[in-house]
Chains A and B, each alone.
Chain A
Amino acid sequence: MSDIVGPAAARSVLDALLASIEASLKAVQGGSQEARTTAMDAAQKRLSDFINSTRPQNLADQAEVDAVQQIDDVALNAFSNLTADQIEAGVAAIQQSNQQLVALTAQLNLQTASTSAAAKSIALQPVKKAVDAMTAMVNSVKALKDNLSAADPDQAKAAAEIEKLIQQFEIVRKAVSAPAG
């Protein structure tokens, strides 16, 4: 854009520019997000060019300098409003797309859980865990029985129950260690 010299010229160009921008944005109002974004980008580029093209006729005339600055401020406000519009539209697009992304993520998490379970199974972790738990239980039961007093009827009864449990383990032991027939 060529230099726009003096407040009168700046005001005239800006009036025309704002009207043109308003029309171009209205034209894409019901259109796609992409079309609206392109129109807003173009509008901001034109406003930025405008701000960079204005200058007072007489740099020593403070009143004229201030008048041109005020016109630039109007253009800057229009630019800033479009920035806020663009940011809100961008965030809304991300939020909308995230709804699909969250659904896909949930499906992937199911696949991850299934893959992890397969990994643990192949690494024999569930079996090892069960065997370790059983070993701990056997040791606990043995320790408990050793601490019970035969003189106390309740404790003697509990010891008898534990003895039965140990005998069941013994049956298992014999079955496991018996020679294959």
Chain B
Amino acid sequence: MIRSPGISAIALLVVGAAACTPLPDTSGYTAASSQLKQSAAAVGTVMHDELARTTDRIPGEQNRARLATATINFDNAWHDTVGSLSAMADYAQSVEDLTNAGNHGADSARQLSQSVLSLAGAVGIAPGAAVAGAAVDTFALLNSAVANIRASRSLTASLAAADPLMQDIAVRVKRQVDAAEHMFNVLISQQRVEIDAAYGRVRNIDDELRRQEIDAAANATGSGDSALQANLTRLRDARALMAPRVAEYQAAVETVATRERAGRNLFLATRTALQSWADSHSRLVRAVQERRPVSFQSLMAASQDVRDLVQRWRDL
């Protein structure tokens, strides 16, 4: 049988080239994971703020004590929730480290070669510069392919093992966010009903006076009756007298509404980012298996939304 040495060399080159397809850049995934953790922490801050605000004002000593205890329990529980997202961010970092190791095998080899040459020098082996350089380059070339293959295998195994955990954690954290949002809505309702109860008379009186004013204005217009005109003036004066208290009521309502909007947007964005994060992990698993690039654009956009909303809440 005639063997051509060229064919095996070409085959090796082809295998080497295939093996050296760069692993996907996962730095966006790591950054988004870290942002997601901060988002969950911000949800905890929002909840803590609203719990504290409501505890100060809720009627009844017993209710205040119950909410104060609930605040402590919530803070502790949410610490664990954020901890799970922190673990997801750590995992994302380890995946990025692995892809980097796979994509930079030559650099690792050069660094190791440098260490080996230092050791050789210390024990009295001093290879010529040209020989040492050639050895380092050869090792770097070989390790580039080896690191790529090893990283790819490790990455595939790691992602496959982690994906069910990631999906499960994402679902459970989403439920925690849902539970927190329901509590947030309850707290906002409590604050709103307290305002309604405190300012109810003001609002009732102003509503009644407004109705009377509309009627009086209709009667007085074009009638030339001075008594009707005087009645209209009296009603308008009364409303003007009440105006500051009505404005106070409206300001209190608007303050709560502003916090409600900011909080709800943050909850919604966090849920969206969680979903996007879980989907991105599944896409990452497929991308590594198929050795093709993966985009985290939607995840990054979701993370940016969360970042903006967290800032908006802090600015309130």
Contacts and interface: CB of A to CB of B under 8 A. Distances in A.
Nearest to A96: B77
Contacts of A32: none
A113 to B, nearest CB: 8
8 contacts: A44-B189, A44-B193, A55-B204, A83-B63, A83-B67, A84-B66, A102-B80, A105-B83
A161 B151 CA distance: 44
B287 interface: no
Contacts of A139: 122
Interface string A59-94: 100000100110011011101110110111011011
Contacts of B196: 48, 51-52
A98 B59 contact: no
A119 B104 CA distance: 11
A100 B176 CA distance: 12
A104 B97 contact: no
Given A94-B74, A94-B176, A111-B162, A80 B190 contact: yes
Interface in B154-183: 154, 158, 161-162, 165-166, 168-169, 172-173, 175-176, 179-180, 182-183
Contacts of B254: none
B168 A95 contact: no
A108 B169 contact: yes
A45 to B, nearest CB: 8
Interface of A: 37, 41, 44, 47-48, 51-52, 54-56, 59, 65, 68-69, 72-73, 75-77, 79-81, 83-84, 86-88, 90-91, 93-95, 97-98, 100-102, 104-105, 107-109, 111-116, 118-125, 127-128, 131-132, 134-135, 138-139, 142, 169-170, 172-173, 176-177
A122 B116 contact: no
Closest 8 CB pairs of A and B: A119-B97, A115-B94, A122-B101, A118-B154, A90-B183, A123-B101, A119-B98, A84-B66
A101 B176 contact: yes
B84 A114 contact: no
Q: Taking each of B70, B73, B123, B175, which has the highest tally of chain A beta carbons within 10 Å of its own beta carbon?
A: B123
Interface string B26-54: 00000000000000000000000001001
Q: Which of B84, B143, B187, B197 has the most CB of A within 10 A?
A: B197
A135 B180 contact: no
A84 B102 CA distance: 54
A114 B73 CA distance: 33
B74 to A, nearest CB: 5
A48 B193 contact: yes
Contacts of B204: 55-56, 59
B88 interface: yes
B84 A104 contact: yes
A32 B115 CA distance: 64
A76 to B, nearest CB: 5
Contacts of B62: 84
A68 B203 CA distance: 14
A90 B205 contact: no
A55 B118 CA distance: 91
Contact of A131 (B109, B119, B183): B119
